[in-house]
């Protein structure tokens, strides 16, 4: 019997395990209940002082403790927890022996201020320069800082713990990173290199400098009070995104491999696509062509047409620019259906989980397919007349959903989209 | 079913401490020239970037201002590679070209950091002290010069490479994987042409500090990597290297000539807590490369860090007839850029019909007079990650 393949003759890629962490909670069950109840995970930051910041709220994950604290340490722990949940559901391989590669979307790593201060304090005098730091930082006293702040450190920890095979890939495509991690897994399975891939995306980087950096680019909402209402995707009074932490993990397998071991099939990654925008470092090309091209490439990759898609899990960051451009792209590709197809933004509730967003939202899309219920876009009180989407305002909605498109667009012209379906086409 | 497609290296862009472009590098390698600066960051040693006119590949000053050093180096090298492949400005090809960049990032404004740090440590800083200083002192555009994926972003903006764009991170291994994935995509028909590479600015105090925390910096007097077993360490180097890799079919259709064929790239992550793990990892990778000759030359990115360099020497001793060349001696350690650098030099040597001479007083590097038809490129990261590639002459 011929192996089941997609319409292009490639192995079908299915999802057999999912794990998710957001500011709403740990795990799929808790997240889904709160997401469909329209709850927000955004709160005023308590992890560090907020004095002097223009934006003071975020979707921090404060219920996971990391000692000594660093954003990279939290990033690693969130990935660990999400991957554990995904692997438990998938029941693939055995403990510490995952039969495939790791693709990890992770925030870029660098030395953080608490550690910089710790090393600076060790100089033991005032008005020092970097040479004096260099004189005291060797000898093993701060060896763990080298390890912690290597870009590959999170992936190597996960690879060792879960026993993934080969060289783990850490990647960043900014806000599209999570989608890219899934895409790399899909491609490896389609090439026949692997029967399974562990795709993880994680971001625990709510710290003062990260918030300041986005703030200086005027990307963050400053509607601090109440924090739960700050993230307003597609609303006329939207004013930026809300930084957030999160992680998503997916076990991808070839359909054959999953069936052969009787694994749960949670959904299908039917298509993925990407197209780079070379217009500007932070802004989309005004004609929207790269985003439109990204959406079209993804439909092509899935062998589908716009009519086949019945829900869009939007990038929907709530920046004035993104939401406008996303409408332009969707309305160009979907025509009149852009006004009727349900388009919701999870970021209204969990904020923008940056490097994790593509995977977190892919998981929410798969849960939408499983439960046949679309999470709302909350904080939608003042519609933007220029964006006449059906945003599933404020209340979740039962609906027949067979195929979801999940979009991710990021700084540096990074555009990536996924199409997720319940059953193989 | 057709077999995997052959992949050719049709473009090479290189800028380093030894200059820019293929001819300058070939001359420097054959003259045994090494460019180190033992004074600027003394007692640390760096291989500083040779003088470069960035205008030649990044014509808009506004673009240059938006970048920090590593991005300028990389965007420049990417332009050289596109020129070398003859695809510069070819919108049709650039619009569907894959790009996989291996990047670090986080280039800091050290003056700002030191001013904030000193002020912070002077007294009892108010709760909002750090926030206020960062809000006031950080340049808004600095963030974009720090984000790892913004080297790719700048290459897209300046050169119009705009098919796919992926940035891999994770030190030395990230560029091995970049080459591995680019080749896999081309071999399987997922892509026709890719721009792959990395860039590193080794002249950064913040990086010296990070590596000093792990005792990785060589201090005092420069020594070739094979002569550092008693004085472990690397000298950071500045370099940008990009390659254009494309399917043979695609190259032939547009009349492009190959420097060499990229036949295979393999990688692994040894658990280095076990002694000898790197030796075993490299031996296992060697056996996966494909059909090798008896004494194929080896270009390695060995770091001079112990014990990994000694473990690599144990692997090399199993191939004692091979002529070995260490890029770490010649260019310093360029982290993400070291593996593409090895690929570039292997392609260059094959295309010029000669391996460049040894530069090693310990005698590990043998002379080789015959034209190389196969070269194995080896990379073992300073703290993790191993990989190998087979570069061959196109017959």
In the 8-state DSSP scheme, what is residue B219?
B
CB-based contact B216 A146, cutoff 8 Å: yes
Distance from CA of A161 to the nearest CA of B (A): 11
CB-based contact B209 A277, cutoff 8 Å: no
Where would I find the H helices in chain B? 22-31, 61-65, 69-85, 91-94, 110-122, 129-137, 142-146, 150-159, 171-187, 205-213, 248-253, 277-288, 308-317, 327-331, 338-352
- The answer to whether the beta carbons of residues B165 and A276 sit under 8 Å apart is yes
Is the Cβ of B213 closer than 8 Å to some Cβ of chain A? yes
Distance from CA of A39 to the nearest CA of B (A): 29
Assess if residue B250 is contained within a domain: yes
Is the Cβ of B284 closer than 8 Å to some Cβ of chain A? no
CB-based contact A121 B130, cutoff 8 Å: no
CB-based contact B127 A51, cutoff 8 Å: yes
Q: Which CATH superfamily is domain A13-112+149-414 in?
A: Thiolase/Chalcone synthase (3.40.47.10)
| pLDDT tens column, B291-342 | 999 999 999 999 999 999 999 999 999 999 999 999 999 999 999 999 999 9
Distance from CA of A97 to the nearest CA of B (A): 14
- The answer to whether the beta carbons of residues A362 and A248 sit under 8 Å apart is yes
Cβ neighbours of A116 in B, within 8 Å? 113, 117
- The answer to whether the beta carbons of residues B149 and A405 sit under 8 Å apart is no
Relative to beta strand A267-274, strand A414-421 is: antiparallel
CB-based contact A167 B180, cutoff 8 Å: yes
Interchain CB contacts (distance < 8 Å): A and B: 244
- The answer to whether the beta carbons of residues A41 and A351 sit under 8 Å apart is yes
Distance from CA of A331 to the nearest CA of B (A): 23
Q: Return the structure tokens found at B94.
A: 């650039």
Q: Return the structure tokens found at B284.
A: 């296992």
ipTM over 0.95: yes
| pLDDT tens column, A147-158 | 999 999 999 999
What percentage of chain A exceeds 70 in pLDDT? 99
- The answer to whether the beta carbons of residues A61 and A157 sit under 8 Å apart is no
Assess if residue B176 is contained within a domain: yes
Q: Looking at the partner chain, which of A149, A184, A277 has a beta carbon nearest the beta carbon of B210? A: A149
Cα A329 to its chain centre, rounded Å, is 20
Q: What's residue A388's pLDDT?
A: 98
- The answer to whether the beta carbons of residues A214 and A220 sit under 8 Å apart is yes
| pLDDT tens column, A70-92 | 999 999 999 999 999 999 999 99
Assess if residue B23 is contained within a domain: yes
Distance CA A61, CA A72 (A): 13
Task: Report the candidate in B264, B272, B232, B271 with the shortest Cα–Cα distance to residue B245.
Answer: B264
What CATH number does the domain containing B178 carry? 3.40.47.10
CB-based contact A120 B212, cutoff 8 Å: no
CB-based contact B267 A290, cutoff 8 Å: no
Q: What's residue A1's pLDDT?
A: 40
Distance from CA of B284 to the nearest CA of A (A): 12
Q: Looking at the partner chain, which of B165, B210, B381 has a beta carbon nearest the beta carbon of A111? A: B210
In the 8-state DSSP scheme, what is residue B4?
P
CB-based contact A413 B165, cutoff 8 Å: yes
Distance from CA of B121 to the nearest CA of A (A): 7
Helix (H) / strand (E) element for B99: namely strand B98-102
Residue keyed to tokens 């039962």:
A398
Task: Report the candidate in B288, B282, B289, B287 with the shortest Cα–Cα distance to residue B311.
Answer: B282
Catalytic site residue A371?
Answer: no
Assess if residue B303 is contained within a domain: yes
| pLDDT tens column, B99-144 | 999 999 888 999 999 999 999 999 889 999 999 999 999 999 889 9
Assess if residue B51 is contained within a domain: yes
CB-based contact B153 A412, cutoff 8 Å: yes
Q: What's residue A217's pLDDT?
A: 94
Assess if residue B111 is contained within a domain: no
pLDDT band at A2 (very low <50, low <70, confident <90, very high): very low
CB-based contact B213 A143, cutoff 8 Å: yes
DSSP secondary structure, B316-378, as one string: HHTTTTS-EEEHHHHH-B-GGGHHHHHHHHHHHHHHHTSPPPP--TTS-SPP--SPPSEEEEE
| pLDDT tens column, B204-239 | 999 999 999 999 999 999 999 999 989 999 999 999
Catalytic site residue A137?
Answer: no
Q: Looking at the partner chain, which of A51, A146, A184 has a beta carbon nearest the beta carbon of B131? A: A51
Task: Report the candidate in B339, B260, B261 with the shortest Cα–Cα distance to residue B299.
Answer: B339
What ranges do the domains of chain A cover? 13-112+149-414, 113-147
Q: Which of residues 71-90 of A touch B (CB under 8 A)?
A: none
Number of Cβ within a 10 Å radius of residue A191: 18
Number of domains observed in the structure of chain B: 1
CB-based contact A146 B160, cutoff 8 Å: no
Cβ neighbours of A54 in B, within 8 Å? 135
Task: Report the candidate in A368, A345, A83 with the shortest Cα–Cα distance to residue A199.
Answer: A83
The residue segments making up the domain with residue B102 are: 7-106+147-392
- The answer to whether the beta carbons of residues A45 and A57 sit under 8 Å apart is yes
Q: What's residue B343's pLDDT?
A: 99
Residue of A281, A301, A358 to mutate for B, most B C-beta atoms under 10 A: A281
Q: What's residue A239's pLDDT?
A: 98
Residue keyed to tokens 């403790």:
A65
Map chain A to HEC letters.
CCCCECCCCCECEEEEEEEEEECCEECHHHHHHHHHCCCCCCEECCCCCCCCCCCCEEECCCCCCCCCCCHHHHHHHHHHHHHHHHHHHHCCCECCECCCCEEEEECCCCCCHHHHHHHHHHHCCCCCCHHHHHHHCCCCCCHHHHHHCCCCHHHHHHHHHHCCCCCCEEEEECECHHHHHHHHHHHHHHCCCCCEEEEEEEECCCCHHHHHHHHHCCCECCCCCCHHHCCCCCECCCCCECEECEEEEEEEEEHHHHHHCCCCCCEEEEEEEECCCCCCCCCCCCCCHHHHHHHHHHHHHHCCCHHHCCEEECCCCCCHHHHHHHHHHHHHHHHHHHHCCEEECCHHHHCECHHHHHHHHHHHHHHHHHHCEECCECCCCCECCCCCCECCECCCEECCCCEEEEEEEECCCEEEEEEEECCCC
Distance CA B236, CA A286 (A): 41
Task: Report the candidate in A236, A204, A218, A212 with the shortest Cα–Cα distance to residue A351.
Answer: A204
Residue keyed to tokens 């006449």:
A388
Residues 6+ apart with CB under 8 A from B23: none
Assess if residue B79 is contained within a domain: yes
Catalytic site residue A311?
Answer: no
Q: Which of residues 187-216 of A touch B (CB under 8 A)?
A: 187-188, 190-191, 193, 208-209, 212-216
* Helix, coil or strand: residue B395: coil
Relative to beta strand B239-247, strand B193-200 is: antiparallel
Q: What's residue A4's pLDDT?
A: 78
Cβ neighbours of B153 in A, within 8 Å? 281, 411-414
Q: Phi and psi (nearest 5°) for B81?
A: -65, -40
| Cα dist from A362 to A58, A421, B198, whole Å | 21, 11, 30
Q: What share of chain B is helix, strand, coil (3-state, %, to 5)?
A: 40, 20, 40
Compute the average pLDDT of residues A260-280: 96
Q: What's residue B229's pLDDT?
A: 87
Distance from CA of A47 to the nearest CA of B (A): 12
Question: Annotated catalytic residue: which of A199, A294, A311, A315?
Answer: A315
Residue keyed to tokens 């089941």:
A4
Q: Looking at the partner chain, which of A49, A133, A160 has a beta carbon nearest the beta carbon of B271? A: A160
Question: Annotated catalytic residue: which of A147, A175, A199, A311?
Answer: A175
Is the per-residue pLDDT at A102 higher than 90?
A: yes
CB-based contact B209 A134, cutoff 8 Å: yes
Q: Return the structure tokens found at A29.
A: 């069950």
| Cα dist from B361 to A184, B226, B366, whole Å | 44, 8, 11
- The answer to whether the beta carbons of residues A270 and A419 sit under 8 Å apart is yes
CB-based contact B169 A106, cutoff 8 Å: yes
Is the per-residue pLDDT at A3 higher than 80?
A: no
Find the residue in A nearest to B184 (Cα). A191
Assess if residue B132 is contained within a domain: no
What percentage of chain A exceeds 90 in pLDDT? 96
Distance CA A79, CA A249 (A): 7
Is the Cβ of B185 closer than 8 Å to some Cβ of chain A? yes
Cβ neighbours of A2 in B, within 8 Å? none
Q: Return the structure tokens found at A238.
A: 């939207």
């Amino acid at each position: 019997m011929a192996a089941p393949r997609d319409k292009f003759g490639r192995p079908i890629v299915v999802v057999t395990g999912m794990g998710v962490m957001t500011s709403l909670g740990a795990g799929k069950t808790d997240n889904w209940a709160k997401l469909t109840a329209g709850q927000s995970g955004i709160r005023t930051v308590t992890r560090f002082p907020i004095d002097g910041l223009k934006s003071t709220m975020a979707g921090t994950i404060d219920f996971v403790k990391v000692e000594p604290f660093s954003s990279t340490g939290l990033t690693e722990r969130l990935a660990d927890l999400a991957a554990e949940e995904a692997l438990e559901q998938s029941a693939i391989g055995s403990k510490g022996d995952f039969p495939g590669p790791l693709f990890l979307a992770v925030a870029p790593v660098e030395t953080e201020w608490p550690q910089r201060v710790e090393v600076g304090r060790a100089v033991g005098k005032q008005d020092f320069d970097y040479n004096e730091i260099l004189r005291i930082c060797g000898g093993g006293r701060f060896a763990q800082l080298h390890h912690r702040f290597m870009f590959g450190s999170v992936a190597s920890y996960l690879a060792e713990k879960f026993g993934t095979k080969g060289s783990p890939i850490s990647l960043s495509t900014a806000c599209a990173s999570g989608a890219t991690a899934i895409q790399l897994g899909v491609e490896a399975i389609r090439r026949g290199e692997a029967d399974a891939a562990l795709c993880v995306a994680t971001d625990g980087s709510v710290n003062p400098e990260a918030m300041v950096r986005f703030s200086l680019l005027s990307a963050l909402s400053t509607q601090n009070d109440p924090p739960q209402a700050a993230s307003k995707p597609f609303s006329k009074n939207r004013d930026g995104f809300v930084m957030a932490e999160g992680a998503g993990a997916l076990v991808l397998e070839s359909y054959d491999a999953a069936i052969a071991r009787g694994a749960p099939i949670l959904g299908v990654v039917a298509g993925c696509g990407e197209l780079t925008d070379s217009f500007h470092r932070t802004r989309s090309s005004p004609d929207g062509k790269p985003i439109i091209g990204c959406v079209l490439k993804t439909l092509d990759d899935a062998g589908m047409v716009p009519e086949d898609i019945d829900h869009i899990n939007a990038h929907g960051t709530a920046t004035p620019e993104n939401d406008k451009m996303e409408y332009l792209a969707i309305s160009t590709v979907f025509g009149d259906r852009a006004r009727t197809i349900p388009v919701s933004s999870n970021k209204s509730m969990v904020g923008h989980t940056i490097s994790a967003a593509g995977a977190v939202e892919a998981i929410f899309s798969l849960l939408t397919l499983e439960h046949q219920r679309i999470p709302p876009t909350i904080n939608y009180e003042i519609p933007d007349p220029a964006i006449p989407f059906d945003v599933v305002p404020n209340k979740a909605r039962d609906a027949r959903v067979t195929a979801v498109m999940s979009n991710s667009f990021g700084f540096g012209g990074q555009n990536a989209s996924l199409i997720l379906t319940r059953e193989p086409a | 079913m057709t077999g995997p497609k052959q992949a050719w290296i049709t473009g090479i862009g290189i800028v380093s401490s030894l200059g820019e472009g293929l001819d300058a590098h070939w001359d420097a390698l054959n003259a045994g020239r090494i460019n180190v600066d033992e004074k600027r960051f003394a007692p640390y040693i760096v291989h500083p970037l040779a003088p470069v006119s960035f205008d030649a590949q990044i014509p808009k000053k506004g673009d240059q201002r938006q970048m920090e050093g590593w991005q300028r180096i990389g965007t420049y090298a990417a332009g050289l590679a596109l020129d070398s492949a003859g695809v510069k400005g070819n919108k049709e090809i650039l619009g569907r070209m894959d790009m996989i960049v291996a990047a670090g990032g986080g280039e800091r404004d050290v003056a700002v950091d030191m001013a904030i740090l000193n002020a912070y440590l002077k007294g009892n800083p108010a709760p909002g002290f750090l926030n206020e200083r960062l809000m006031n002192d950080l340049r808004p555009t600095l963030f974009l010069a720090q984000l790892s994926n913004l080297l790719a972003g700048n290459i897209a903006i300046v050169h119009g490479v705009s098919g796919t764009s992926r940035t891999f991170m994770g030190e030395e291994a990230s560029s091995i994987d970049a080459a591995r994935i680019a080749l896999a995509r081309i071999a399987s028909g997922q892509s026709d042409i890719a721009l792959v590479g990395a860039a590193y600015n080794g002249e950064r105090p913040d990086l010296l500090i990070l590596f000093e925390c792990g005792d990785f910096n060589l201090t005092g007097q420069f020594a070739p990597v094979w002569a550092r077993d008693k004085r472990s360490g690397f000298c950071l180097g500045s370099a940008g290297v990009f390659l254009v890799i494309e399917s043979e079919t695609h190259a032939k259709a547009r009349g492009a000539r190959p420097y060499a064929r990229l036949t295979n790239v393999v990688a692994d992550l040894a658990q280095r807590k076990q002694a000898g793990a790197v030796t075993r990892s490299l031996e296992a990778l060697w056996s996966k490369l494909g059909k090798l000759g008896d004494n194929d030359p080896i270009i390695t990115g060995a770091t001079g860090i112990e014990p990994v360099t000694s473990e690599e020497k144990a692997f090399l001793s199993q191939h004692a007839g091979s002529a070995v060349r260490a890029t770490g001696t010649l260019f310093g350690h360029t982290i993400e850029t070291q593996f593409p650098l090895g690929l570039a030099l292997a392609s260059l040597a094959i295309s010029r019909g000669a391996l460049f001479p040894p530069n090693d007083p310990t005698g590990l590097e043998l002379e080789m007079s015959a034209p190389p038809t196969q070269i194995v490129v080896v990379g073992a990261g300073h703290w993790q990650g191993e990989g190998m590639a087979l570069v061959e002459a196109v017959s």
